[in-house]
């Protein structure tokens, strides 16, 4: 069986920290995201 797309409801990756520390989004980049995948 093959699928064209997959919908994944993954556990939280601590993105709520941006709400508490808005400057953190300036310190993160594509390398950080690829490290989580």
pLDDT tens digits, 4-29: 998 877 766 666 777 788 887 788 77
Q: What integer pLDDT is reported at residue 14 of this predicted model?
A: 64
CA separation for the pair 31, 28 (Å, rounded): 8
Residues 10-18: contacts with CB under 8 Å, at least 24 apart: none
Which residues, 6 or more positions from 25, have their beta carbon under 8 angstroms from its beta carbon? 18
Q: What integer pLDDT is reported at residue 36 of this predicted model?
A: 67
Over the range 6-27, which residues count as b (16 or more CB within 10 Å of their CB) and which as e?
eeeeeeeeeeeeeeeeeeeeee
């Amino acid at each position: 069986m093959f699928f064209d797309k997959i919908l994944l409801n993954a556990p939280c990756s601590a993105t709520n920290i941006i709400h508490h520390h808005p400057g953190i989004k300036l310190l993160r980049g594509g390398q950080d995201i690829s490290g989580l995948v």
